[in-house]
Chain A
Amino acid sequence: MQNLHIPATSYSPQVDFDFARHQLSLRGESYPENASVFFAPIMAALDAYLAPLDHVRISVDVQLAYFNSASTKAILAVFERLNAAAVAGNYVTVNWHSDPDDDTIMEFGQEIAEDNPALDVHLLELA
């Protein structure tokens, strides 16, 4: 299926879903005016990509400097889908980056790991 690439703006992240290589990344800032409008096509592409996968190694890289409350909810939904794919027999590694001064983003990475035990989550420092 077609890869998904959305360039970053000052308030929305760069989305690079290289489905052919099974590498997904989110980088930058996320506070679009309407997070559900922004994330809807991302979720749709992710669902279409994940549905037929079996025994595939997927690598997810998240380097977000800031995300607002509505984006937080959408990001959680992304990881719920990935967790379901891992439960269904795929292997999903998540590299979750946060600034060492940012407890909120680091703790949210921990919560994602706790909520979605089928994911292999690594908490890393943002470079």
Chain B
Amino acid sequence: MSLDHFYRFQDLARQQSVVFYYTGYFSQAIVSAMGDALRQRLNQTDASNMQRRKLFSVFIEMAQNVVHYSAEHLSASDSTDQEIRRGALWVGEQDGHFYVVCANPVAREQVGRIRDKLMPLLGMSNDDIKQLYKQKLRSDNDAESKGAGLGFLTVARDATEPVEFDFIDEDGPLSPITMFYLKASI
């Protein structure tokens, strides 16, 4: 990539009011350092305290989702701690709202499971999401989940609009891996 390309890349980010962008490997240390930088950056914006807290919460849930579940990892595939996995994360500002977008590779066989978790949330009111959150918080853990199995619900709870998601076949329809995108507005 020539310096001119980097400039165009930066310019597009500026036009789209991207506050923060990271792509590469995610570990707990990186998530924590990015979280600190994001908090300081948000202190310089007009965001209300409530908005900052919700944004931080969405950011952490999404970033830790990459650490736990991205299909591309540097750490051993069976480890549950000290993981390093690949993904990308954007935070931007649009018409007085903030958005957080996260992307990470997932195994194609996980697509159905992710879709089944997210689809029901799209049509739900914020009160319904809160009720479902309360209920799930008190139920047994999902066997495949490394956290509390509440990450998507937390993102949906803290978002001011229904979350958006998509799967993009970057390596063609036959690849066992597809890219999962999730967006929340706050």
Query: Which residues from chain A sit less than 8 Å from chain B, CB to CB?
Result: 9-11, 31-35, 37, 66, 68-70, 72-73, 76, 99, 101-104, 111, 115
Query: B147's contact among A11, A35, A104, by CB below 8 Å, is which?
Result: A35
**Is the pair A69, B28 in contact by a Cβ cutoff of 8 Å?**
no
Known contacts A11-B28, A32-B28; A68 and B50 CB within 8 A of each other:
no
Q: How many Å lie between the Cα of A99 and that of B49 in the bound state?
A: 10
Query: Which residues from chain B sit less than 8 Å from chain A, CB to CB?
Result: 28, 31-32, 35-36, 48-50, 53-54, 56-57, 60-61, 64, 67, 80-83, 134, 137-138, 141, 146-148, 150-151, 153-154, 158
Which residues of chain A have C-beta atoms less than 8 A from B32's C-beta?
9-11, 31
**Is the pair B36, A73 in contact by a Cβ cutoff of 8 Å?**
no
**Is the pair B137, A73 in contact by a Cβ cutoff of 8 Å?**
yes
Main secondary structure of the interface of B (DSSP, over half): helix
**Is the pair B36, A68 in contact by a Cβ cutoff of 8 Å?**
no
**Is the pair A66, B56 in contact by a Cβ cutoff of 8 Å?**
yes
Subset of 10 A-B contacts with CB under 8 Å:
A11-B28, A31-B64, A34-B147, A68-B61, A68-B154, A69-B151, A70-B147, A70-B148, A70-B150, A104-B158
> How far apart are A6's CB and chain B's nearest CB, in angstroms?
16
**Is the pair A111, B134 in contact by a Cβ cutoff of 8 Å?**
yes
Which residues of chain B have C-beta atoms less than 8 A from A66's C-beta?
53, 56-57, 60
**Is the pair A33, B28 in contact by a Cβ cutoff of 8 Å?**
yes
Query: A33's contact among B54, B67, B150, by CB below 8 Å, is which?
Result: B67
Which residues of chain A have C-beta atoms less than 8 A from B134's C-beta?
111
Which residues of chain A have C-beta atoms less than 8 A from B50's C-beta?
101-103
> How far apart are A99's CB and chain B's nearest CB, in angstroms?
7
> How far apart are A64's CB and chain B's nearest CB, in angstroms?
12
Query: A68's contact among B60, B80, B81, B141, by CB below 8 Å, is which?
Result: B60
Q: Give the nearest-CB partner of A34 in chain B.
A: B81
Query: B150's contact among A72, A99, A102, by CB below 8 Å, is which?
Result: A72
**Is the pair B61, A69 in contact by a Cβ cutoff of 8 Å?**
yes
> How far apart are A101's CB and chain B's nearest CB, in angstroms?
4
> How far apart are A120's CB and chain B's nearest CB, in angstroms?
22
**Is the pair A72, B57 in contact by a Cβ cutoff of 8 Å?**
no
